[in-house]
Amino acid sequence: MSKLSPIINPEEFLNIKNSSEVILIDARAGINARENYQNEHLEGARFVDLNQDLATVEDPAIGGRHPLPSLEKFSQVLSKLGISPQSHVIIYDDKNGSNAAARFWWMLRAVDHEKIQVLNGGLQAAIKAGYPVSSAIETSEPTENYPISKWNLAQADIEEVETARNNEENIVIDVRDKNRFDGLTEPLDLIAGHIPGAINIPFSENLDDDGFYKPVEDLAKKYKEIIGDKNPENVIVHCGSGVTACHTLLAMDYAGIPIPKLYVGSWSEWSRNDRELATKETNNSFGYNKN
């Protein structure tokens, strides 16, 4: 059996939406995400909450703003959603996968779930393609706790990033937009800038003008040129809090490139730990005390 593409187009989804194996997940995030879901969502979609289900939000200086939940908690979340190892999970959000859809995809891949896809173009594309919407309260029959033993996709911690950023054999990729990377603006964390030595490849470059993932050939060419002959184990991808970085990991997997390491803590952790920082304006590194 050929490997299932991590991306599914709206037209393909419409053809399988009534399958008993399909479980549709709304992964919108943000202040009004749950309210927006309750007002209107794709018919049959179950809601997953970034902060409550896909992270354990505590001290951003330890693991960032969205550290991974415990394996036990994630197993319980999957059970609550009615997801078993046999389920065909399709996830969408309203930000072309850059909200929490790609994060949930990565987490499921990391526990070796096989049938998992992100809806290309997200909520808006599905509606445009004719998928019905609803404001009904969606319920699911809980399954037995999903069997999870460990996270099986590679991660990097803050110490590994510290070493990698000074090593020519490594690449540290920051997927935030250029203004955040350059230190010109910072809407979420305490200080603006980037990890010295990191390169900036905004996740938005994975998408075309209509908000769909670019063709596989284009993505493969782009990332193969960036990574070159480096071992995927030596490539680390991060963002602000380990969520949007998964959009680029998804793009790489879609393009047939081995999934690099995810630095979950990302800028939100790095910038709160008195590590060296850099901006475009200063072109220098400087210390920052989280207190």
245: helix, strand or coil? helix
191: helix, strand or coil? coil
Closest CA to 176 of 153, 160, 192, 165: 192
Count CB neighbours of 249 within 10 A: 25
Cα pseudo-dihedral 258, 219, 204, 33, rounded to 10: -60
Helix (H) or strand (E) holding 42: strand 41-42
Q: Count of alpha carbons within 13 Å of 264, Cβ hemisphere only?
A: 21
CA distance 131 to 125: 9
Count CB neighbours of 152 within 10 A: 10
CA distance 266 to 83: 29
Catalytic choice (25, 110, 123, 239):
239
239 annotated active-site? yes
DSSP annotation of 204 reads G
Q: Tokens in use for 211?
A: 């908000």
Active site residues: 239
